[in-house]
Amino acid sequence: MAKSVSQLILDSPKVDKLGVEERVARIQTRSLKGPSKTQGLKMALSMIDLTTLEGKDTPGKVRQMCYKAHHLHDSISDLPSVAAVCVYPSMVKFAKKELRHTNVKVASVSTAFPSGQAPLDVKILDTKFAVSEGADEIDMVISRGKFLQGEFQYVFDEIAQIKEACGKARLKVILETGELTTLDNVRLASDIAIHAGADFIKTSTGKIQPAATMQVTYTMLMAIQDYFDETGIMIGMKPAGGISTSKLALHNLLMVKEVLGEEWLTNQWFRFGASSLANDVLMQLIKSESGYYASPDYVSID
């Protein structure tokens, strides 16, 4: 039986901040080397959502990013494509056309991204338009102002209605954790989003700092684990913003494996919202194959 919002509030556990920091610190002491590192880097690359979300976006820029999404570097053998490209609703049709013969998904932000400051009917129309243009995935933002005012039922209902508007598209719910201020708030927002119908929970828009800290991601992973233990239903995770190095990406993957298990180590259940990360991953892979570092410009995919 589905939980009421009032029950979710009561059941959402308080976060042991010191405990989280200690667990994250322990993970950060670990490293991968040799073939294990190469495997991890390729896995990370396959989980990236390449993103362009600027007011100056054009169809040409989107087409170029889509081309590079599945032609990352021809000189590296057995290289996966990224998981998805993420664009504004008005750019979905251009991305969809460019990626029509690939396995790269098209994601679209919606619900008045990044602020979320719009009436619900506008947010629903925004979502339905993106889906009608061909979006496979929707990245929505929650109403942080409502959440911080304690209007948790509003936040729950809004997510549920956007989920309905998504149809067959998968829904990623962005918490914008940098504005939630505490790990307790992050945990409660995660629980609300999951129970309201999120297919993924996502840390950030990338527009607010701090974004995807490992402490925040760990807290969200624990919410996913608790829900899975309770229901047997898997929920995806997407840290976004601030993950720009291969080392940090690998630490995130180690954390996912430790908290959730290997079942989550596919791009069906874990994503990185970090376009610049792809550059660093490619440079590391080139180094592992050739023995030297390439220029950042040589592998640029922005």
Which residues have a catalytic role annotated?
A: 139, 202, 238
Which two three-digit tokens encode residue 20? 């989280």
Answer yes or no: are the C-beta atoms of 57 and 63 closer than 8 Å.
Answer: no
- Is residue 66 classed as helix, strand or coil in its secondary structure? helix
Which two three-digit tokens encode residue 3? 């939980």
Backbone φ and ψ of 140, nearest 5°: -100, 160
DSSP 202-268: E---SSSSS-S-HHHHHHHHHHHHHHHHHH----EEE-BSS--SHHHHHHHHHHHHHHT-GGG-STT
Q: Packing angle between helix 183-196 and helix 214-231, nearest 10 degrees?
A: 40
